[in-house]
Structure 1
Amino acid sequence: MAPSYDVVIGYHASDIKFVEKLSAKLEKSGLTVWYKKNQDEGKQTSEAILGCKIYLPVMTELSAVDKNIQEQLSLAYISNSAIYPLAQIRFRYLSPKLNGGAKLMLAKINWCFVFNMDEFDSKLDAVINCMKRDLSNMSPSSGGENLTEAAFSHGLVLTHGPNIDEMEGSSSGIGLTETNAQFWDRHFQDKQEVPWTEFRDKFRQDYGKKIDEELPDVKEDKLKFIINLIYKDIFDMEKTITRKVYDDFCVSKDPHAFFSRTQEYVVAYLSLREVLAMDSSLRIPVIQSLGQFSFPAIVAGLSDMLKDDDPNVRAVAAIALAHAGRDKQDTVDDLIGIIEDEDRLVRESACLSLGFLRSARAVSYVVDRWRNDPISTVREAAELALSKMDAVEAQRCMKVTQVLSSEMSALKPKVA
């Protein structure tokens, strides 16, 4: 289990003196703080971010282009930590150095700017007051949910920064044509459902240019990538789009709510891709944590990890996928696909995950491992999985196990 801190600080090594002063200030106020004290603590940093309530990146021209900071930002974002960026130079100087996803993410969050040390205490006092207010609103079991709003029914929540009067805010602003009507009402009026192709064409007509200007660059064709993401993740590849699903996604009645929510979704998706591309040694604790989210891209990412070259990644991904993808039809097939993996830990994970899912369709595959696997721990995992399954075949196998155990006990020599 990841350690829990109120605040984790991310920074470039050149800012260590400032970070030490910052940490001392936060700790003096009663907050628990963690920051990397040597360059070999990459794994600990990931674990600390997964367990923290607030991630505070110290943003400078060097940290803005630091891949470690970009990964940490993405990890904090998808693990639902509140993000409090603190900078010593103005946002307009940092913005050109940030990658697309980080730029869009941070542009929508209020910043604290400390331009000289004379204002350090007053600026940090304002930040600390805000942090404490937000921390007090978190229930012990919420994991920070009170700081966020549910983005959509897929399970991911998006973090929004605090409102602090003393801070110099910055907003990306999508700069769209003023209108009082929502996207749906502008084009479909009183209709309760429309064909996906019609919805797609109207969206492209209204927002194609803004997508090209505002949203982060991706390796794929940008507009095609966004359209496919909307179709697959937001509308679950339905041929007909209903007003209810549209409204549930939009949340608000803002005229450009659908575009804004899509914009947030893209940031979350790209943040996740950044995390899944992390160095293997850092990915293990991250993969474990992803099991709590049912966000489609997380499920797809975990499924892809079942083919990873590292058997440790495959094994942990199998367990996480059983939790994140428990409601997805393809999850059982994906896990069955690795039940004969060359690595014993992966086979054990596949058996245990299928047992967790209680899949009747997987029983014959688990039975095969129970009877035929050459490694005893895999057979034990298969037996445990069968004990969790309600299918008739699983129960019959367990009955056989009980009979065999009884007979073996009877054959053992009696102690005089």
Structure 2
Amino acid sequence: MTVPFTDSTKFNVMISYSHQDSELMLRIRDLLTANGFDVWVDTKLKGGSNFFKNIGSAVIGCDIFFYILTEHSVASKFCQDEVSLARISNKKILPVTYCDPKDVAPEMDAGLRLILSCVQWICLDPKLDDEENDRQIVQSLNETLQSDLSDDSRLANYDIFFSEEESVSFPRSKSKFLRRTNSLHLVGFWTRNFGDSEKRVELKKVLARIEADYTYDYSRLQFEEAWALKALTFWCFDLERSATSITREQYDQFVFPNGKSEEQREMPDSFWVRCKDGFSVRLSMQEVFNAQSSVRYDSIQNLRQIKNKRVVTALCKLLRDHDPNIRAVACISLSYTGNSSPATIDKVSKLLKDVDRLVRESACVALGKFQSPGSVTALLDTWRNDMISDVRSAAVKALNIIGTPERLCRTK
């Protein structure tokens, strides 16, 4: 039987699957249970009330997110939402498949391909008997439970490939060598393209060098080129939309988020690996908080269990997303993370001037939850001047939660 879900239970393994693969799921569920794993899996058809109620909590509460990867699951919006939530929750993701990776990868969208590109797949052999494949599943799960989940460990698994035009010195049949074998790339991205003396570079030049250096790897992700290059760079460097250049300091902060020691050397592809990893978080966040997401609202409620720097940083960036629904949900989600730093309060306060009334109302709700005295002036201005009554009411509620003196909330 399926392990019953309760809010207080933490599961070793949560199984994500397409209901079209139910037979395979049941066999794997029974295998894991028989080998001592606590398993949570929703056996209802995707979209049932229990699914919507529990799925977000199950993903966030598990140790390993076990993804049954088939042509059905990569096409499932529900499965994509679950994988994305597992990514931003920093879960150990373990895909298992009988498919040839070359066959199933082209069916994935860019976000899913990015997420799964840095994890080890269990590729089962359909020619072997179930006992051999089952042994591999159990062994891989045990190894995953003991594995390191640090950034450095995860990022080390990303494959980086040559651009086609940069591999002309090699035989055509070997044009997909890993970049680290190329003598032209023994130094980091900034040094090899702009030199160590350059302290500021125009954004358009950085974009041009990203495109030139990583054409082949970039094309494998199947992004819409013009959109992705610009969005990737703005996202990774946390640039304002009006930015026209990038400083070496911004670059170093991105490549070495925990600080760079004097003896620390940048690996040739550290920059692009960070780009891919950061962009996978961006796409995952958009997938989870999109208006059509099946895990959106449950995720908001459960973000208080995550509270890691990666989530807070990503949510702050989503406050500038082009979609007002995502800006609004990111705003509310931030208030659940417990991060009420001055920088976060300032970013949320700016949304009180957003063109969308739902975003402004969400900003009021979030600032009230933060209980930040520093946001009182902005909330008072909203209460007095906003054209929408619901927004003004939300501002008053926030002010009352913060504990503003009664004379400040006196009606006109």
TM-score of the aligned structures, taking structure 1 as reference length: 0.70
Q: Which of 135, 142, 150 is the matching residue for 1:122?
A: 135
Asked whether 1:247 is paired with 2:252, we answer yes
2:335 is matched with 319
Q: Decide whether aligned partners of structure 1 residues 180 and 274 sit closer, same or farther in structure 2, where only a CA change above 3 A counts.
A: same
- Name the count of aligned residue pairs: 360
2:168 is matched with none
The SS at the match of 2:40 is: strand
Q: Which letter maps to 2:104?
A: L
What does 1:358-369 align with in structure 2 at a 5 Å threshold? 358-362=374-378, 364-365=380-381
Point out the more displaced range, 172-181 or 119-128: 172-181
Larger radius of gyration: 1
What does 1:229-248 align with in structure 2 at a 5 Å threshold? 229-231=232-234, 233-234=236-237, 236-237=239-240, 241-248=246-253
1:287 is matched with 300
What does 1:149-228 align with in structure 2 at a 5 Å threshold? 149=151, 159=154, 173-174=161-162, 175-176=178-179, 177-178=182-183, 179-191=185-197, 193-197=199-203, 199-200=205-206, 203-204=209-210, 206-207=212-213, 209-210=215-216, 212-218=218-224, 222-228=225-231
The SS at the match of 1:85 is: strand
Distance 2:236 2:406 in 1: 40
The SS at the match of 2:68 is: strand
The SS at the match of 1:64 is: coil
Contact 1:59/1:85 (<8 A) preserved: yes
Once the 2 structures are TM-superposed, how far is the Cα of residue 63 of structure 1 from its aligned partner?
1.6
2:401 is matched with 384
Once the 2 structures are TM-superposed, how far is the Cα of residue 148 of structure 1 from its aligned partner?
2.5
Contact 1:53/1:81 (<8 A) preserved: yes
Distance 2:248 2:363 in 1: 44
Q: Which of 34, 51, 54 is the matching residue for 1:42?
A: 51
Q: Which letter maps to 2:89?
A: S
Question: Per-residue CA shift, 1:93-135, capped at 9, x if unaligned?
Answer: 211222222123323321112224131332023113213313x
Q: Which letter maps to 2:252?
A: D
Once the 2 structures are TM-superposed, how far is the Cα of residue 10 of structure 1 from its aligned partner?
0.6
Asked whether 1:27 is paired with 2:37, we answer no
Once the 2 structures are TM-superposed, how far is the Cα of residue 12 of structure 1 from its aligned partner?
1.4
Distance 1:103 1:342 in 2: 31
1:265 is matched with 278
The percentage of counterpart residues that share the same residue type is: 20
Q: Decide whether aligned partners of structure 1 residues 288 and 236 sit closer, same or farther in structure 2, where only a CA change above 3 A counts.
A: farther
TM-score of the aligned structures, taking structure 2 as reference length: 0.71
Distance 1:357 1:93 in 2: 56
Give the gaps of 5 or more residues in structure 2. Answer: 1-6, 163-177, 257-264
Contact 1:322/1:354 (<8 A) preserved: yes
Give the gaps of 5 or more residues in structure 1. Answer: 135-145, 151-157, 163-169, 387-393, 405-416
Distance 1:55 1:95 in 2: 19
Asked whether 1:334 is paired with 2:340, we answer no
1:167 is matched with none
Once the 2 structures are TM-superposed, how far is the Cα of residue 72 of structure 1 from its aligned partner?
1.5
Q: Which letter maps to 1:334?
A: L
Distance 2:202 2:138 in 1: 50
Contact 1:321/1:331 (<8 A) preserved: no
The SS at the match of 1:254 is: coil
